[in-house]
Amino acid sequence: MSEASRGGGGDGRGAGEPAYLWSAELTLRPGRRVPPARRLDAGGRGLVSPYYDRTRIARLVRQGRHREAVGGRWEEMGRLQLELAEAHGLEPGMRVLDIGCGCFRAGVHLIPRLEPGRYYGVEMHAVLLQAGLERELRPLGLEGRLGQGRLLCTDRFEFQVFGVQFDLALAVALFRFLPFNHLRMCLEKLARVVRPGGRLLATYLACPPEAPFSDVLEHEGGMRSYPARAPYHYLAADLRFAAYRLPWRIEDLGPWGPEGERLVSFLRLLEVPRGQAAGEG
C-alpha cells in the first residue's frame, strides 16, 4: 500500500496543494488532467457491471454527460438523498460517507449542510470525481468546504484510508451494480469505520418472495433487474446473509425513490449479533 493510502506524504503533491483525490492507486491534484482510461474489453462486455466500464464512463465525461453517467435524475435524486439523511438525524457536525459518490449528485446538497471537512466521498472513477469538482462543486463555491483527503478513488472499499469513524453512510443506487461478494465486502469493510450507533442507509432492487429469482423483473418506474448481471436484484434474505457475522442490525424501511428500490437501514452494533460470532452457527 502506498504512503498516500496510509495517510502520509509522498503522494507527489506540491507544497500547499490539497489532496482532494486520495487513493492507494491514484492521487490527482486539482486541475490535473485525468489519464485516458484503458479499454478493458470490447464495450465493457464481461464486466461484473456496466459501471465498471471505465471506457464508457470516461467517454460520457468527455462528452459533458457526467450526470448521465451516474444515472441522471440529478436534482430529484440529490434532494431525495438529502431528505433521507435529514430524516435520520443529519446534523452539521456528523461525518458522512457517500459511497459511490460519483460527481456529487448528493454531495452538492450534503456539503452545504455539513461543517467543512465533514463530507467524505468514495468513487471508483477518477474522471467522475474530477468532473464533479470542476463542473459541480467549484461553480457553487463548495470545493473549499471539502478539506484535504476527503475523496477516495478506489474499487475495493478502502474506507479505512480516511482514518476516521463515520456517523452516517449512504449507498443509494449502489447495491444494484454490485455482485454479491462485492456487496459483502462493502458491508464488512464499512463495519470497521462506522461508529457503534451509526448507520448505513442503502437502497436495492428487491426480488419479491413470490417471484422466481431467475426471472427478469420489472420495477416501478420501468427499471428492469436481473439475477446474474447488473442491475442486480436481491432477496431480503440475501442482504441478511451478506451481513452475517458482521455487527449490523438490518431493518427494511419500505419502498424508496422513483426507480422501484427499497430502503434498508444497517445499524452499527457494538458486537456481532448473538449466535453469529465465529464458530457459532
| pLDDT exceeds cutoff 50 at 27 | no
Instruction: Measure the CA–CA gap between 187 and 167, rounded to whole angstroms.
Output: 15
Could you list the residue range(s) of the whole structural domain that residue 69 is in? 21-268
From residue 258, alpha-carbon distances to 78, 80, 255 in Å are 12, 10, 9
Residue 280: pLDDT band by 50, 70, 90 thresholds? low
pLDDT at position 70 is: 79
| Within-domain flag for 13 | no
Higher-pLDDT residue of 257, 29: 257
Other C-beta atoms closer than 10 Å to the C-beta of 252 total 13
Report the C-alpha gap between 135 and 55 in whole angstroms.
20
Residue 9 domain flag:
no
What pLDDT, in 10s, does the model give residues 73-100?
A: 888 999 999 999 999 999 999 999 999 9
- What total of structural domains would you count in the chain? 1
**Cα–Cα distance, 253 to 145 (Å, whole number):** 32
Q: Which pTM does this prediction carry?
A: 0.85
pLDDT at 47: 61
| CATH classification at residue 246 | 3.40.50.150
What cell numbers appear for 32 in the block? Answer: 490535473
Q: Give the pLDDT confidence score for residue 245 in this predicted structure.
A: 96
Average pLDDT of the segment spanning 220-239: 94
Q: What are the C-alpha distances in Å from 139 to residues 142, 195, 227?
A: 8, 33, 41
Find the mean pLDDT for residues 39-47: 43
